[in-house]
Amino acid sequence: MPYYSYYSYGYGDFLANNIYVLLLIPVIILSVWAQAKVSSNFKKYSKERNQRGLTGAQAAQEVLRMNGVTGVNVLPVSGNLTDHYNPTDNNIYLSDGVYSATTVAAVGVAAHEAGHAVQYAEGYAPIRIRNAFVPVAQFGSKFSFVLLLIGMFMYSQSLFLIGIILFSFTSLFQFITLPVEFDASRRALVGIDQRGLLTEDELSGAKKVLSAAAWTYVAALLMSLVQLLRFVLIFAGRQGSRD
């Protein structure tokens, strides 16, 4: 390969990496802030007992009942913030600090997971799309970096492009996840309010817990998009050098 091609490749990679770092810094700050807010808000409102003395499990059942959803079990699971809804067995799993806890945070988190169960029961379109996209996203996540690394170091544009396409699947999956998470929180807060599970002040605390959690998904998407942009810029720079 001619010297100028090596030089052009190096400059293109250098420019792409510098743009990547400039964009990455604010995204990292956002990620750290979001994680800190999740931790601090959950810790704060895990110390505040709700006036009705409802456990997280009871709150989840109330949200399900309000939406006419049956056949969903609410079960405990070990760990911290390991709460999730599993569509495979149609169960809601609540962590140690949520299942039997009578705190404001427990009600908010449990109601959010119940919101996911309601989404499945109602056939909410974004969650159906996300579920259908899971195998594609998993495949992309598993093989994208291998092809990107091989393509980058062997200067193979075809392999690098395939790696970019596969990596874009994971970014798209994270993008689809956003409306699913925001809608689950919306359903949770509506259920809490309409069922009177929390007082007005307590509801405000639950909103803060769920809002902080939502920002972690936003940060994850931005991180993925910044990485994708870096790969696209490197590819475009090398392609231009070849031309």
Query: Which amino acids are annotated catalytic?
Result: 113
| Nearest in space to 110 (alpha carbons), one of 100, 119, 120 | 100
Distances, alpha carbon 136 to alpha carbons 20, 148, 150, 173, 228, in Å: 26, 17, 21, 9, 17
Type of residue found at 83? D
CB atoms closer than 10 angstroms to residue 90? 14
Partners of 85 in the beta sheet?
A: 92
Q: Which of 156, 144, 177, 125 is nearest to 234 (CA)?
A: 156
The total of other beta-carbon atoms located within 10 Å of residue 71's CB is: 9
Dihedral of CA atoms 128, 224, 38, 95 in degrees, nearest 10, equals 50
| Amino acid identity for residue 160 in this structure | F
Distances in whole angstroms, Cα of residue 57 to Cα of each of 52, 60, 94, 121, 148: 13, 5, 7, 19, 45
